[in-house]
Structure 1
């Protein structure tokens, strides 16, 4: 009985803590590429005055930045660990119309969009540059410890900034997404963590047809994008297996340019959801199972915080 009561109180305290931290998230705006963009910023109370690490979180298609801070634990972990976190909002597929999850979702121009579509003509890299500059004006950032992570379409955007803005970042982590920056030759090879679900119906490991909430399409095998990013980083060593159990298989590529490594986690039986995050509201028939006991947010921060300065 005591253990049950303690677990219940602990869950309540965690909920209150998350709500309290969520209330400190600021919604801000910045101008880039002739447009007004919004982003959500959390500066922890114990941020280092001389410059705190910064994590940039790119949401998935149809999502928004604030939810990724509050529902996937980024704001709470930021407060605990003392790093600054920012989660921008992508622009709508038809930018001149209001956003709507089903009819006009927020997207990133990550290289996955039709280049001739209205959204495909917008320069998201210009926005990321403006975002980093604006955050640095508002709070003290350690520019040598700026990291990017993203989910799904946001994972593709993470690969894109790693390919085109490598000089402004120190590490990358992608969650349930594909590398759409094949052939990239980044100025600097960035340490990269890639998290995948073995039962993800939206980015199936073997590739093939998928059905998004906005229609059907096909994707290449995940291995194709992994091989392409390995080449972009200049990794020459064969994959070393760091873990292989009922929860996850972990492979690591080393001997990459600039001392980088490329580590790929395969979450056994996991679908498309952010591991350890709150449910998206979409059914399992769309997202696949959400069964993993491993939490992606602290795993990613552990990876970032362990990288050399």
Structure 2
């Protein structure tokens, strides 16, 4: 397998993105939004939520009061840096729904479920969708992390983001804009609308993406009328951004599951995809969940958690 030298690839990449840079502002973090690890000041403080429970919290961001819920693991210790997972709900859903769906409250991490604002169609949504509210959810995410790091003993190099559907699409936006602060990203059935903007990440972004081939809401092969890319095309763009080999290694660990892994990505980044044959617009689970009474052949959450554990900011 041939691969151009890194210097040549960088020159070609620069030439390729120049027209886009002139046509539209890149999807990078706005001034004042730190795209780098931020020191945690919350170690040693009494947490706002009792370990082993989930609590509702608020903060003011962009002039609006925003809501979110936090779950602390039962063994949380105020002096021990702990990883943190942001889990974003889908269109018209809630933070509580996402907690039940993704089940990160059962993992040994600080699990945070942000709440989206009501969008133009009357349903909750995130930046990057045509129906989202006129709000900066990247700023909200940054402000949320800053507040959490001021209250809790967060490991600043082990912050992760996952989400479903519109929430998964927003995780893709965060991969473009905050890869210097968030260590890895795992969109599930992501809705990657063009309203997310151009993407020029500050560093290669480790990504693990799930999608079902029978997804009728966000089709695997894309929807040109809505500007939704085919999932292989979306992944191919990330392979370019992360400096990976063009063609992934492909294997099937079990029936109806195809895994793709791109090799030799820049800065030890990581790009993986789980394609689930016959799965619809669901968070994959081997038991009934909020998405579907029909189980799939794979549990996404433990796969995501293993992926996250192998990634950290350097």
TM over 0.5: yes
Question: Secondary structure, in 3 states, of the residue corresponding to 2:102?
Answer: coil
Q: Compare the two structures and name the one with the higher helix fraction.
A: 1
Q: Which consecutive unaligned segments of at least 5 residues does structure 1 have? A: 1-20, 95-102, 211-216
- 1:235 aligned to 2:253? no
Question: Secondary structure, in 3 states, of the residue corresponding to 1:166?
Answer: coil
Distance across 1 between alignment mates of 2:51 and 2:103: 10
Q: Tell me how far 1:158 sits from its aligned partner.
A: 0.4
- 1:84 aligned to 2:110? yes
Question: Secondary structure, in 3 states, of the residue corresponding to 1:157?
Answer: helix
Residue of structure 2 aligned with 1:247, choices 249, 256, 259: 256
Structure-1-length-normalised TM-score: 0.77
Q: Which consecutive unaligned segments of at least 5 residues does structure 2 have? A: 1-49
Q: Tell me how far 1:219 sits from its aligned partner.
A: 3.0
Contact kept? 2:215, 2:279, Cα under 8 Å: yes
Structure-2-length-normalised TM-score: 0.76
Distance across 2 between alignment mates of 1:36 and 1:84: 22
Q: Tell me how far 1:174 sits from its aligned partner.
A: 0.8
- Determine the structure 1 residue equivalent to 2:135: 122
| 1:245–1:23 distance in 2 versus 1, CA, 3 Å | closer
- 1:280 aligned to 2:290? yes
- Determine the structure 2 residue equivalent to 1:113: 130
Aligned CA RMSD, in angstroms, stands at 2.5
- Determine the structure 2 residue equivalent to 1:139: 152
- 1:298 aligned to 2:283? no
Distance across 2 between alignment mates of 1:32 and 1:223: 35
Q: How does 1:16-165 map to 2 (within 5 A)?
A: 24-48=53-77, 49-77=79-107, 81=108, 83-94=109-120, 104-110=122-128, 112-113=129-130, 119=133, 121-165=134-178
Distance across 1 between alignment mates of 2:179 and 2:312: 16
Distance across 1 between alignment mates of 2:188 and 2:235: 13
Contact kept? 1:203, 1:222, Cα under 8 Å: no
- 1:256 aligned to 2:265? yes
Distance across 1 between alignment mates of 2:289 and 2:254: 25
Contact kept? 2:169, 2:190, Cα under 8 Å: yes
Contact kept? 2:183, 2:206, Cα under 8 Å: yes
| 1:133–1:193 distance in 2 versus 1, CA, 3 Å | same
Q: Tell me how far 1:236 sits from its aligned partner.
A: 2.9
Contact kept? 1:183, 1:232, Cα under 8 Å: no
Distance across 2 between alignment mates of 1:242 and 1:147: 26
- Number of residues paired by the alignment? 260
Q: Tell me how far 1:278 sits from its aligned partner.
A: 4.8
Contact kept? 2:138, 2:174, Cα under 8 Å: yes
Question: Secondary structure, in 3 states, of the residue corresponding to 2:261?
Answer: strand
- Determine the structure 1 residue equivalent to 2:214: 199
Contact kept? 1:69, 1:75, Cα under 8 Å: yes
More contact order relative to length (CA 8 Å, sep ≥ 6): 2
1:243-302 alpha-carbon deviations (Å, 9 max, x no partner): 264230001112222111110100121111111175437xx7xxxx94413111111111
